[in-house]
Chain A
Amino acid sequence: MTMLEDAVKARSLEETVRVRDLSELVAETIDPDPVTNEAKTPVPSTQMV
């Protein structure tokens, strides 16, 4: 993952290519449960390409 991000940076593609883990992707498809909402804050907010 780190290597993929390095490569994206090396090619200046941060605007168009994002590297994410499965969990991060899945987290975006789940409606946050109010109880655990606070736990979600560290996950970066999503902006679709």
Chain B
Amino acid sequence: MNEAITRQILWNVPVTFIVLMYALLAALSGAFVFTAIYWYRRVQLGTPECRSDRPLLRAWLMLRDAIGQGYVVRETWGWMHYAIYVGFIGLFIGTNIIFLNGDIRDLAGLFGLPLYFYFGDFYLFFKAAMDSFFVIFIVGVIASAYRRRIGKPWILSQPPADKLLDNNENWLGYWYPLLMLVLVAVTGLMLEGARINATHPHFTEWAYLGRELGRLEGVLGAGRSFHRWLWLIHMLLVYALLFAFPFSKLRHFIIAPINLFFRDLTPRGRLFPIKDIENAETFGVGKIEQFTWKQLLDMTACLECGRCMINCPTATTGKALNPKYLVIEQREHLLAKAPVLMAGKTYDGSIDASEALKGVRADADMIRDVATDQAVWDCTNCGWCEEGCPVGIEHIRRIDDMRRHLVMTESRFPHEIVTAFKGIETQGNPWGLSQEKRADWAEGLAIPLMAEVADPAQIDALYWVGCLGSYDRRNQKVSRAFATLMKQAGVKFAILGKEETCTGDPARRLGNEYLYATVARHNIETLGRYKPRRIVTQCPHCYHNLKKEYPDFGAMGYEVLHEAEFLEELRRTGRLRFERPLAARITYHDPCFMARHDGKWESARALLHAIRKLNCRMPPNRKTAPTVAVRVVVVSGKRKSAELALTSTDSISLYGPSPKRWPWDVLSA
């Protein structure tokens, strides 16, 4: 190693500048502590919730998604963020290496520790690496500016101005941090060039960019004093950037990993029972402070990237609900109301009674004014927003908590829902059709009823048909086809017939937890009478409820299989033989509650791939599958010759088929 190959750290920098640098560093640390307390005090206004179980798993998942950036990179333009990220981290580590070899080295020297490696081969490699990180960084920043200024993707749109507070963060926006990032990087490179130009070391090939820039600066007459003042400007710009961290969108550097650490580890889309529902006085969430601290942390963690909108069935069809707007508006309301809450007062009109911000100000009604009723009712619970979010924001429960408040505390809901609630309550199905006719679909198939089976223990599987499979004419055919296949495979199965009722899923997703709890307990009692080992169903919602949500009400001792899983098992074990080839082109629609919420998609694929000559095209799919209504419009709009195979009934919601935009060609065969 040649110790001559290095540079003097802080060369040509006067002591006054260095003192200023450390003074600003101290002030910056103060600013970070101040904002940490600022956000902590706001987040802890929420209600308690345990999110510290399994800390090692949480830490691993946080590192995977925060450092790995998987959720960021997978979307269009994800590489842009990744370039800025890699460049920034690279340059940041570089700065720290210099810090280590400068200040810490002196400190370590006092204790007799040798700490100096900023020379020789390492130095040369370091120089080349820094110049490369600069290139990566600048490419990312330019791409980001292009996207925001010229590309203007719709997901970057913002909520209306009367719902955005007049604070530092909104004032600085995205352009200030972006501009500072560019200026810091460019002056940093210029500084390297100026030093090379002023000192003319003979080993500059590795600093391939800085050297060329230095040559240019030399031509323009730069010298030692240019370097000195440039150093000051660079240092001040660095602080202009660093001081923006706690007060702008750049705070996601810290809040995003924290939010990822405290993420929900339970299956996506799963709702929790209300504790002591019989004696509770209020239900759900009607005020911002009734959310849990994690739900408030979600609001502070949102960086407005808009990935939640990409596949959202309401945002893409121009409905009132836009998951990104909702989370931003609720955050603004939290910030507006926080001073009142922290003072322990009720709102007396003395704070921010401005007309301009009436949508989010402290006295606004959290549901009616901030979120709006329509937005709360629009959600289909499909779960895309949570799948798409790179910082682990939980949207579904937040929306369903508001529904619980509207339904159970305020009785304020669209009148169409009344029919569904009444139907489930009186006839066990959301349309209020006669419970007596529940098994009519099975006429002529000779399927035994559980009540008629002499020994329920001899039954292989209980077939849970579901409401659509029982009553809807189209879905009745599916039930018959599935039942026929099971018979052909020699499966001993039975149905509940009149004893089966709706699982209560629509009631729960629409906020009527009381009705859901009643229905769930009733069904669990029925299941308890027959103690089936396995339950099979073609309805993804029934599947999700029986498997993931009924255990909260005491259901146990059974395994739930979806139609796709069961058919695949029958095929794998040779009980169903696919004799005939099927020369068709199909696309498979992954149901939200199977693929996205429960991560089950492989069985359907294995099944379809086992059919000879079947041409199966299915992008986009698995976890990113869109909800039904969105997909079919595109399918029908883009393709004239295709078939759709899908698993039965998906999604309870009320949206119509008219998406404004759609990023993918679903059937691009």
Contact = CB atoms under 8 A, between A and B. Distances in A.
Interface of A: 1-8, 10-11, 13, 16-33, 36, 38-40, 42-44, 48-49
Given A13-B640, A22-B564, A23-B567, A1 B474 contact: yes
B468 interface: yes
Contacts of A49: 584-585, 641-643
Contacts of B482: 21, 23
Given A21-B538, A29-B578, A36 B488 contact: yes
Nearest to B655: A3
Given A11-B633, A26-B567, A48 B584 contact: yes
Determine chain B's interface SS by DSSP, over half rule. mixed
Contacts of B478: 1, 21, 23-24
A7 B637 CA distance: 10
Interface in B193-225: none
Which of B581, B585, B632 counts the most chain A CB atoms within 10 A?
B632
Given A7-B629, A20-B645, A22-B604, A30 B488 contact: yes
Contacts of A18: 643-644
A32 B373 CA distance: 53
A28 B646 CA distance: 15
A13 B485 contact: no
Which of A19, A22, A25, A30 counts the most chain B CB atoms within 10 A?
A22
21 contacts: A1-B475, A7-B636, A17-B643, A19-B643, A19-B644, A20-B645, A21-B647, A22-B564, A22-B607, A22-B647, A23-B482, A23-B563, A25-B582, A27-B485, A29-B611, A30-B485, A30-B580, A42-B481, A43-B484, A48-B584, A49-B642
A44 B468 CA distance: 18
Given A4-B646, A27-B481, A30-B580, A22 B488 contact: no
B249 interface: no
A32 B489 CA distance: 11
Interface string B531-547: 00000001000000000
Contacts of B472: 2
Nearest to A28: B582
B485 A4 contact: no
Interface in B588-613: 589, 604, 607-608, 611-612
B374 to A, nearest CB: 20
Given A7-B629, A29-B582, A19 B636 contact: no
Given A13-B640, A27-B484, A39 B649 contact: no
A46 B368 CA distance: 51
B29 to A, nearest CB: 56
Which of A1, A20, A40 counts the most chain B CB atoms within 10 A?
A1
B260 to A, nearest CB: 34
A11 B636 contact: yes
Contacts of A30: 485, 488, 576-580
A29 B633 CA distance: 28
B651 interface: yes
A19 B637 CA distance: 15
Closest 5 CB pairs of A and B: A7-B632, A23-B482, A11-B636, A23-B481, A21-B478
B642 A17 contact: yes
Contacts of A31: 577, 579-580
A3 B628 contact: yes
Given A22-B567, A36-B484, A39-B487, A10 B643 contact: no
Given A1-B648, A26-B578, 8 more contacts: A1-B650, A2-B649, A21-B646, A22-B564, A29-B578, A30-B485, A40-B484, A49-B584
Given A3-B651, A6-B657, A25 B628 contact: no
B437 interface: no
Nearest to A20: B645
B635 interface: yes
B480 A43 contact: yes
